[in-house]
Chains A and B, each alone.
Chain A
């Protein structure tokens, strides 16, 4: 017996002697993938590869890059967390998504975060990109939405409600009055939570605001809302001009004042007419999907994320303007078949949660005029440098013009008017949601995606586990990469 044990020990010893160096070598030489995507070797520009990998369906590679960048904990950490959050949602990793969104949420809503970087970025030679990323109002809105809905899934209703209300507040940080607080989804989620907590009066109030927001951002009203906003801006300008003229009132200005008053009267009539048309449209818009959505008896929320979010890029002579565009995505509507039996039709879904509309109606920023000023300065100094250079070639015995030309040229080159185009690019283009009542247990869902003509373009089956006690939330992303 003891001989057998000795033999066994010897074999184990021999094997371990052979195997140890192999494992040790592996430990010392990590996989090339780990080296490539280690935070030390990753640069911000590598995030573009991750973005393209995500939209090409290579989630693993995208995750490695964004995780590596997030580990660096630099001024873009909120951006990396938002991108990672969207990636995790697509993969169905709700806990990881919540952690990533929460980390971004804290920074995006902290006024004091990266304050020193913000002050530095205003300088003539500093780039706006050096600021800490905190996102545009629409990005804050959707970050708050995701944090809220994931907390709701965790049954943390109070914090979820706080997140939705924060989103509503962020949505008020836009220039145009009519575009303020028009994300119906946030009001509807807040209504749902108030109903679950038996706060009927609060719920009624929030639902009223949700309906108003839904009407304002409805595609049928967008043109009219834009027209009305333009008229309101003109009216504001004219009223200020009138007030200014009236304070300096004299005989010469009387004619100008009369003209201004007539123009204001016409603008007010046009605003009323646009308002009436909006009211007329509102009467035709069906809000049944809103009522179904807030029904507290429905224990399951299904959130469809379609397409690719808005793309922000620089234009202008010096890239001083940042503009948005959107990639067309084929998915227009959905239907769901539950357990091969019950079919939920497309009209039941809560639609028009359009991310591009929210991004493109934010209005101007204070920083935009600073960048415009920087671009003008860059252009002027360049022009002066060119004139001095030409003059130096005609007559410049002491080289003064040449020196001045060089100096102004250097100032022009050092001026940095480039707009900051950082944005949460893994956001979807649109969200379509539905609330359902499903019996506890496992269910098979077949989700069909249709294009605008009603043709099925994608169909996928998922298995979901519905629990009785919690608020079930299911995410499904259709990235819209055609093939």
Chain B
């Protein structure tokens, strides 16, 4: 019985480690299915986290914006930030969203200030972006400036276009993008 419980526990634990989220790109991904009007949005995020208190970002949230659907049926997507999303050399998070074509609102990046005590912290974004069918678009860099743990949330300061360097870096991090054409678009 103990052995059976141990196997069940191990299966659950490991399934979490190897699970693939279909809404984000991953490092080991070998193919990208953009049929059924799916598209990709790429953007980077910068927060100066060099102070005493460290912010560990875990996920970001995207909400569907669709004027033709009742509000309570709109999709809400919590997308994980994987280790490959963070580049220590650039001090940037390289984020991807793979969703059906449509309009989405990037709500916030969520994480914890102190992993041991689990104090939640949000980086409020509230920016709209588009996903076009069968297209991969780079949207820009979200800059949150200095992180302040005293505040309940940190607000977005500016959005910059760093497409030239960052598209190359995206291709480096996610090999599946290497032979794909990446266009430029913007948040609004």
Query: Which of B12-20, B63-71, B170-178 lies at the interface with chain A?
Result: B63-71
In the complex, the answer to whether A56 meets B68 with C-beta atoms within 8 Å is no
Question: Could you tell me which residues of chain A, from 51 to 95, have a CB within 8 Å of some CB in chain B?
Answer: 52-53, 55-56, 58
Question: CB within 8 A of A53: which of B67, B103, B133?
Answer: B133
Binary per-residue interface labels of chain A (106-129) against chain B in the complex, 1 for a CB within 8 Å, 0 otherwise? 000000000000000000000101
Enumerate chain A residues within 8 angstroms of B105, measured Cβ to Cβ.
Answer: 313
In the complex, the answer to whether B65 meets A311 with C-beta atoms within 8 Å is yes
Taking the complex as formed, is B188 at the interface, i.e. its CB lies under 8 A from any CB of chain A?
A: yes
Query: Which residue of A has the minimal Cβ distance to B37?
Result: A49
In the complex, the answer to whether A482 meets B71 with C-beta atoms within 8 Å is no
Cα distance, A483 to B138, chains bound together (Å): 10
* Distance to closest chain A CB from B119 (angstroms): 23
Given contacts A58-B133, A325-B128, contact A312 B102 (CB under 8 A): no
* Distance to closest chain B CB from A312 (angstroms): 7
In the complex, the answer to whether A422 meets B68 with C-beta atoms within 8 Å is yes
Q: Is the interface of B mostly helix, strand, loop or mixed?
A: loop
In the complex, the answer to whether A328 meets B103 with C-beta atoms within 8 Å is no
In the complex, the answer to whether B68 meets A52 with C-beta atoms within 8 Å is no
Enumerate chain A residues within 8 angstroms of B155, measured Cβ to Cβ.
Answer: none
* Distance to closest chain A CB from B56 (angstroms): 28
Given contacts A52-B102, A52-B130, contact A481 B67 (CB under 8 A): no
Give the interface size bracket for A toward B.
Answer: 20 to 34
Query: Which residue of B has the minimal Cβ distance to A482?
Result: B184
Query: Which residue of B has the minimal Cβ distance to A61?
Result: B133
Given contacts A48-B103, A52-B102, contact A328 B132 (CB under 8 A): no
In the complex, the answer to whether B188 meets A327 with C-beta atoms within 8 Å is yes
Enumerate chain B residues within 8 angstroms of A129, measured Cβ to Cβ.
Answer: 70
Taking the complex as formed, is A319 at the interface, i.e. its CB lies under 8 A from any CB of chain B?
A: yes
* Distance to closest chain B CB from A318 (angstroms): 8
Taking the complex as formed, is B143 at the interface, i.e. its CB lies under 8 A from any CB of chain A?
A: no
Enumerate chain A residues within 8 angstroms of B71, measured Cβ to Cβ.
Answer: 314, 318-319, 418-419, 421
Enumerate chain A residues within 8 angstroms of B130, measured Cβ to Cβ.
Answer: 52, 55, 327
* Distance to closest chain A CB from B146 (angstroms): 26
Taking the complex as formed, is B101 at the interface, i.e. its CB lies under 8 A from any CB of chain A?
A: yes
In the complex, the answer to whether A482 meets B69 with C-beta atoms within 8 Å is no
Binary per-residue interface labels of chain B (123-144) against chain A in the complex, 1 for a CB within 8 Å, 0 otherwise? 0000010111101000000000
In the complex, the answer to whether A52 meets B69 with C-beta atoms within 8 Å is no
Question: CB within 8 A of B132: which of A55, A311, A418, A421?
Answer: A55
Cα distance, A422 to B66, chains bound together (Å): 9
Enumerate chain A residues within 8 angstroms of B133, measured Cβ to Cβ.
Answer: 49, 52-53, 56, 58
In the complex, the answer to whether A313 meets B70 with C-beta atoms within 8 Å is no
Enumerate chain A residues within 8 angstroms of B132, measured Cβ to Cβ.
Answer: 52, 55-56, 481
Other A-B pairs, 11, CB within 8 Å; known A327-B186, A328-B188: A44-B68, A48-B69, A48-B102, A53-B101, A56-B133, A312-B67, A318-B71, A327-B128, A418-B72, A422-B67, A423-B67
B residues contacting A by CB (< 8 A) are: 37, 65-72, 101-103, 105, 128, 130-133, 135, 183-186, 188
23 A-B pairs (CB sep. < 8 Å): A47-B68, A49-B102, A49-B133, A52-B130, A52-B132, A53-B101, A53-B133, A55-B132, A56-B132, A56-B133, A311-B128, A314-B71, A327-B130, A328-B186, A328-B188, A418-B70, A421-B71, A422-B68, A425-B67, A482-B183, A482-B184, A482-B186, A483-B184
